[in-house]
Each structure stands twice: as C-alpha cells, then as structure tokens.
Structure 1
Amino acid sequence: MCKNETHSESKHPVRANKIDLIKFEEKVKDLITDITESILLTFSQLILFKSKTNKYLILRDLMLMHSKTSTLIVMTLPLPHRLIVASLYMSWLETITEDMPPFLFVRGHKDVLTV
C-alpha cells in the first residue's frame, strides 16, 4: 500500500486489493440475471451496491493486513439491508472470509457483544 493511500482517505479498494475485486466479480458473474426475483442478482443491483462492495473489499484488505496470522477471527455479522438480494450478501461474506484463518461471524449490532 502506498504511503499516501490509506483506507480512511478512500472509498475504493487499494491497488493491491484489485485482485480481490476481480475475484468478487467472477463470483457474481454467474449470479447476474435479467429476471427480477428476490434471490437473483441483477446487473443494476450490482451497480447500485458498488460502494458497499468496495467497503467489504476494504474490510477484507484490513483483515488480511492485521489478522492473516490469527488462529481465529471473530467478527460481528454485517447486517444485510432488506433491498440486498441473498446471492450478493453471501458473495460479500464469502469474499471477506476467503483464504482467511477460521472465521466466526457473531450476530449482533451493538457496541458491546456478550458471548
């Protein structure tokens, strides 16, 4: 990562993360359809949620930088928006966890998490 390019300054994945973007696009390529159903992904939805996709790619990049050697990663499960189709949401989760150590998503969206 370049010194001038940090995650807080940009809403786009850093250059090193472009490979993850390509992998993500490969994952969703077969899910895109023109049929409007709640489980299928349309190209317009993919474009509509591009900023969220970038957010999850940045999150993945940060996880790789700070947690790649961890024994276990525990993270709160990102809450899906009601307009996001299941296939896109699951693709985001798959992208975050791909080639990572064992990953545990915990449901909850509070500042304090009790397990």
Structure 2
Amino acid sequence: MKTQVFGHLNTISLDVPRTSDLAKMNQRLVDASSQFKKKQGKGTIDVWWLFDDGGLTLLLPHILTTRKKWKDCKLRIFIAGQPERIQQDKDEMQLLMKKFRIKCDDIQVISDLNVRPSVESWKLFQDMIEPFRLHEGSKDTTQAEALRKEHPWKITDHELVTFEEKTIRQVRLNELLQESSRAAKLVVVSMPIGRKGSVSDYLYMAWLDSLTKNLPPTLLIRGNHQSVLTYYS
C-alpha cells in the first residue's frame, strides 16, 4: 500500500506496510526472540572457520554442545583449503580437534571459495548497494570531494575497486553456505574485518547482509588471534 504526501513543490510516495504484513513481521520477531529459549532438537551446528583467529570461532560452538538445550546437535566444521591438498587439510583439522578434545562429526574442506559468484548473486548485491553509492567517479573533482564530505558513510567508487576481491568473497561464501548449511540449527561464521576509515559503514553492512542472506540463525565471530584453545578446552 502506498501513501502519497502532497506539498507545494513536490510529491513524495511512501511505502507503508499493510496491517497484515506488520502482524506477520511482528510474529516473526516474537518467534525469533524465543527460538533459543527452548531445547534444540537433533540437527547440526555448522562452523565455517575460515581464518585462524585464535580458536574462538571453534570454542564457542563446542561449549554450546555441552549445554542441555544443544546436546542433541552435532558439530560440522567447514574450512577453506586448496584442491590439491583437501585430504591433508582435513587430516590436520581432525588432529587439531582430537588434540583439544572437541567432538566433531564431520569436517569439510571448501576448495572453491575463491570462485566468482553467479551472475545472479552478483547482480543482487549490486542492486542492494546501488541506493547507497556516491558515484563520485562521474562527477568533477570539486563535486566528488563535496559528496565525500557530506556522506562519509556511503560507498565510493574507489573503495568498491579496492575491496572488490573481499566483496566477491562474501557473495560467494553465501552461495556456499546456502548449499551446505540451510538446514543447520545454527551457523557460526568467521566475521569479515572492516577497518575504520578504510571501509564505509554501508559497504561493511552490505558485506554482512550479503553473507547471512537466506540462512538459518547465524552467529558471526572474530577472535583477536590470541589462542583460546588449550588442552583443557
């Protein structure tokens, strides 16, 4: 339903959700807020440990499985690897889990993380960020500088080029997550780093939105590279 607001100089069209849509949205929020208050049935906690961050991304899901509400869930671990050493990477990860006494039912090595995402996925991402781009490259120097000062949180053409590889990675990772983890009770993923002053607010939030799109409840974790795994974990 659209409501039009008329003024002396212009007309503004606002998208106002219908009452039924609001009711459904509120119910989803209520369901989501109480989802983890009850015992989780049989299923998996999928851990996508993509960077060695000290082990926090592994430790927290392991602790969850020792609690009553999550005891029926099993850990599945996904790690990034190279096609020519998939078995070696898997064996090394199994040794690490055994060393720290973390029970894991399945370890999968993802060897095609660096493949470009599909045209459709990439277009959806481009469409999503379009309203938040400056497009300063099409302006003269003075106009471009004024835009950057007025909207420092928006996405510049320069940073899109600078962080293209990292952006592609988030879109591609979501494709892989949807292929392997759509049925998980919980997905735990290494959180991408966004350094203050180098990545705009909108681009970083677009990364997170793209990464978690159409997934089960997802927990983003990033350790500070200090080891939290010990022989007594």
TM-score bin (small chain):
0.7 to 0.9
Identity rate, percent: 23
- Residue type matched to 2:116 in 1? H
In structure 1, the gaps of 5 or more residues are 1-5
The answer as to whether partners of 2:178 and 2:214 remain within 8 angstroms in 1 is no
Q: Which residue pairs with 1:7 in the alignment? A: 112
User: Paired residue for 2:126, among 10, 25, 28?
Assistant: 25
* Structure with the higher strand share, 1 or 2: 2
Q: CA deviation at 1:29?
A: 0.2
Matched letter for residue 182 of structure 2: K
Aligned CA distance change for structure 1 residues 109 and 61 (closer, same or farther; 3 Å): farther
Q: CA deviation at 1:67?
A: 0.7
TM-score by length of 2: 0.41
Change beyond 3 A, Cα 1:89–1:62:
same
- Match of 2:189, SS state, is strand
Counterpart of 1:39 in structure 2 is 153
Alpha-carbon deviation of 1:48? Answer: 2.3
Q: Does 1:72 align with 2:186?
A: yes
Change (3 A) 1:103 1:25: same
Supply the distance in 1 between the matched residues of 2:228 and 2:221 (Cα, whole angstroms): 9
Unpaired stretches in structure 2, ≥5 consecutive residues: 1-110, 137-146
Distance in 1 of aligned mates of 2:228 and 2:208: 20
State the partner residue of 1:90: 205
Aligned-pair CA distance for 1:53:
1.1
Q: Tell me, yes or no, if structure 1 residue 106 matches structure 2 residue 217.
A: no
Report the number of matched residues. 105
Partner Cα distance (2:180, 2:188) in 1? 13
Structure 1 residue matching 2:161: 3-state secondary structure: helix
Q: Which has the larger radius of gyration?
A: 2
Higher relative contact order (CA 8 A, sep 6+): 1
Measured in 2, the distance between the counterparts of 1:92 and 1:108 equals 18
